[in-house]
Amino acid sequence: MTAIHAQRITAPAPATPKKRPVDYVWAVARIALGWVFLWAFLDKTFGFGFATPAAKAWINGGSPTTGFLKGTGENALGGLFAGLAGQAWVDWHFMAGLLGIGLALVLGIGTRVAAAAGGLMLMLMWAAQLPLATNPFMDDHIVYTIVLIGLAMAGAGNTLGLGTWWGGLDIVRRNPYLK
């Protein structure tokens, strides 16, 4: 009789997918767009003098929403948006959104949530400007929203970011929308 030895068969570890050049393009777009949001937060908070003078900085008592929203009064939805200008709850939500979206995109974590929140914020800003002065409907808010959708669909946080680590967390594996 021959002895039959049971061998333990293990599956090979999954190979890390090779990064394609387009993955790096999406990653750079993610970081760049994240910086747009993060910089808006920083400039409005501290008044570095680019879009917000120091005297109107949030830390000096200025309202980060007043300048933009008050200027919408003559637009189609201006009455709605101008009425929100300067309200503390609007300022806090706006600034938290800029910071959260910016950090998530720069770090490459929660890109799906950041894309949804960023797209919503951008589309509200677009709506506040209607009708547009230079184009019947298209402007940078819509283009950025399209890019955000692409970032989420491409899994852009996994390249040059913490997306792979983030995606391995138990809570994210149980709730894939958090990727």
What are the domain boundaries of the chain?
21-178
Q: DSSP class of residue 86?
A: T
Question: Is the predicted pLDDT of residue 8 greater than 70, yes or no?
Answer: no
pLDDT of residue 68: 86
Element (H, E) at 112: helix 111-128
Element (H, E) at 132: none
**Least confident segment among 72-76, 82-86, 148-152, 161-165:** 72-76
Core vs surface per residue 103-120: b (16+ CB within 10 A) or e: bbbbbbbbbbbbbbbbbe
More confident residue, 69 or 145: 145
CA-based angle 58:61:66, to the nearest 5?
A: 70
> Is 27:88 a contact under the CB 8 Å cutoff?
no
- The residue assigned the tokens 């709730």 is 175
pLDDT of residue 11: 52
Question: Is the predicted pLDDT of residue 86 greater than 80, yes or no?
Answer: yes
> Is 117:100 a contact under the CB 8 Å cutoff?
yes
pLDDT of residue 73: 76
Mean pLDDT (whole number) for 47-63: 96
Residue 83 token pair:
């009425």
